[in-house]
Amino acid sequence: MAGPWEMVIGLEVHVQLLTKTKLFCPCSTAFGAPPNANTCPVCLALPGALPVLNRGAVRLAARAAYALGCTVHEESVFARKNYFYPDLPKGYQISQFDRPLATGGFLALEDGPGARGVRIHRVHMEEDAGKSIHDRYPGHSAIDLNRSGTPLIEIVSEPDLRSAADAGVYLRRLKQILEYTEVSDANMEEGSLRVDANVSVRAAGADALGTKTEIKNMNSFSGVERALEVEFARQVALVERGERVVQQTMLWDAGSGTVRPARSKEESHDYRYFPEPDLPPLRLTSAVLAEWREAVGAQRAEPFQQRERALERSGLRSLEPRKFREVALAPGKQLERGAGEIDAANLGIVLRRERTLFALVPQPQAHPRCGAARAAGTLVRGSARDALEHEAVEADGRIEAHDACEA
Ligand SMILES: [Zn+2]
């Protein structure tokens, strides 16, 4: 075969939902806790422990799906994805397989009517695994199960992307949508957004897809773009020599700028999916879905630049949680409007980012959120309280009574 060659890319993006607790147990999802501190019989997979679905996670997952123009199904089914790995204590991951939460969306790469874009194949929910740590103890591996059971969605695109640059545009727009709808903080450094890419080559203009490889281990958008270019060049060289592309998993090494085949144990398995017997099918009423869809309808129509400006104004990106603590919660210091870079309107966003805030508020009262509301009382009473109430609903996915909470 002769060139020119066309690159065909599909992306699978794992996104951590911005819940306060895990997908099937009440353990905290806060980042940075001591190893194995945020665990319980459910996420440690002790015998007899049963999962209970976090409704708040479902709501965020559906919100993301609607923001991507998907159809969210009234019934979806959790399934066991079986594989053995040291950081997966159950021996399976609860995911969704043939009955995912949502299907059939679209992400525009440009603004305006008729803009080109990428079809979204599906959005499904699943739990995260734990983490193996190989560099802590010489000759040994350690396991941290704090992430075990953390709620994720996987967003799977159709193979509609044709260049590394477009893959970068897709990821930046996707990240923005997730931030703007407050589905996720989409923080790649903390592992809240992870990208796997399926890549193949074919003669330009051909219909049939070539054999694909999957690239993993990319931890920045620019890394994704570089990895795609490198893998594309590798595949083109193979094909031009008359060799075949082998379907396999490749790992990106950002340091050397190369891809290498994953070791066999890191490759894909026969997952032997079957419906999760410990969870009933996930059923959502059409009324609830209509309400959730409506809530993101207007946001979805807003142009990219407009959302960018709103995000910048909101402080969601610029206001670091640690800075918030330093400025706002220093000993003896009350929150004040205009003190530092804190704006009352941003409090809800900051609270959702800084999930340990409630533990840090001096002398919390009976209800921790009331304590925080009092601490924030000198800010702007109404907005602080509203933000806290919003936080309570969004973080836990439960509506709580706030009548007793007087700021
Ligand atoms: Zn747990």
pLDDT in tens, 128-160: 999 999 888 999 999 999 999 999 999 999 999
pLDDT band at 1 (very low <50, low <70, confident <90, very high): low
Q: Are residues 53 and 197 in the same domain?
A: yes
Residues whose Cβ atom is located within 5 A of ion ligand 1: 25, 27, 40, 42-43
The pLDDT of residue 401: 24
| Domain range for 344 | 319-407
Identify which has the larger pLDDT, 182 or 227.
227
Of 234, 268, 283, the one marking the end of a domain is 283
Instruction: Answer whether residue 278 is part of any domain.
Output: yes
> What is the CA(264)–ligand 1 centre distance, in A?
31
Total domains, the chain: 2
> What is the CA(273)–ligand 1 centre distance, in A?
23
Of 232, 264, 283, the one marking the end of a domain is 283
> What is the CA(25)–ligand 1 centre distance, in A?
5
Q: Are residues 150 and 257 in the same domain?
A: yes
DSSP 25: S
Q: Counting Cβ atoms within 10 Å, is residue 50 exposed (0-12), middle (13-18) or buried (19+)?
A: exposed
Range of lowest pLDDT (109-113, 146-150, 323-327): 323-327
Identify which has the larger pLDDT, 393 or 113.
113
Q: Are residues 261 and 374 in the same domain?
A: no
Q: What pLDDT, in 10s, does the model give residues 351-380?
A: 444 433 333 333 233 334 434 444 443 333
Which residues does residue 275 pair with via DSSP β-bridges, in sequence order?
79
> What is the CA(30)–ligand 1 centre distance, in A?
12
Instruction: Report which of 205, 221, 108 is spatially closest to residue 165, judged by C-alpha positions.
Output: 221
Q: What pLDDT, in 10s, does the model give residues 253-300?
A: 999 999 999 876 545 568 999 999 999 999 999 999 999 999 998 888
Q: What pLDDT, in 10s, does the model give residues 31-49?
A: 888 999 999 999 999 999 9
Q: Are residues 90 and 151 in the same domain?
A: yes
Q: Are residues 47 and 142 in the same domain?
A: yes
> What is the CA(54)–ligand 1 centre distance, in A?
12
Instruction: Answer whether residue 310 is part of any domain.
Output: no
Report the b/e string of 183-200 with b at 16+ CB within 10 A: bbbbebeeebbbbbbbbb
Cis peptide before 89 (omega within 30 of 0): no
Phi and psi, residue 118, nearest 5°: -125, 130
Q: Are residues 124 and 34 in the same domain?
A: yes
Residue 195 CA from chain centroid, whole number: 10
Average pLDDT over residues 222-246: 96
Is pLDDT at 329 greater than 80 in this prediction?
A: no
Report the b/e string of 236-255 with b at 16+ CB within 10 A: beebeeeeebeeebbbbeee
> What is the CA(370)–ligand 1 centre distance, in A?
26
Q: Are residues 363 and 254 in the same domain?
A: no
Q: Are residues 245 and 358 in the same domain?
A: no
Q: What pLDDT, in 10s, does the model give residues 382-404?
A: 334 344 443 433 333 322 222 22
> What is the CA(151)–ligand 1 centre distance, in A?
12
Place of tokens 């790649």: 188
